[in-house]
Amino acid sequence: MRQVAARISEDQEKWLKDYFRTKSAGAEFILPWAVDTFFRAISAVKSTFTTGELKTIIEAHKDVRLLPDHTRLSYLTLRVMDACDVGLVHTHHGASKASLEAKLKRLDDTQATALMVWSSAFWVSRNCSAANLDEYIRGY
């Protein structure tokens, strides 16, 4: 199995050791589970949005550095609605602001987090370009 070096807090390290005996045993379980859970969540969430809405959400996350404390539905809604209000991003992608807002409000924090991580990941991926945006949306 490939090695991954992750930065975790002291509380997270204690939790892993308490539940799995060792940090390594916990990480070997949690990381693959988290990745699988993320891909299931993003696949389900994406199906509720149109392509134009997904492009709007992705564009709203350009130049954003996500922090774990900011991965909540309220932050997603604020970021996307602000991009629509200030930059009219939704109009560039043919999305309805009202429809997008209604769909965002139906998400829970976990779904919102998956959408934020996925959207931000586009901008740091090797294939980040306007030409690859449609492929990125279809790809997961």
Assigned domain for 3 exists: no
pLDDT tens-digit profile of 27-42? Answer: 888 888 988 988 898 9
**Is residue 65 in some structural domain?**
yes
Q: For the segment 51-104, what is each residue's pLDDT rounded down to a tens digit?
A: 999 999 999 999 888 888 888 899 999 999 999 999 999 999 999 999 999 999
Q: What pLDDT is attached to residue 1?
A: 62
Domain of residue 20, residue span: 10-44
Tell me, yes or no, whether 38 and 55 share the same domain.
no
Mean residue pLDDT across the chain: 89
Q: Classify residue 84: in a domain, yes or no.
A: yes
Task: Give yes or no for residue 140 having a pLDDT over 70.
Answer: no
Residue 103 sits in the same domain as residue 134 = yes
Contact status, residue 105 vs residue 48, Cβ threshold 8 Å: no
Helix ranges (DSSP H) in the chain:
10-20, 23-46, 51-60, 73-87, 89-92, 97-105, 109-124, 133-139
Q: Are residues 113 and 99 in the same domain?
A: yes
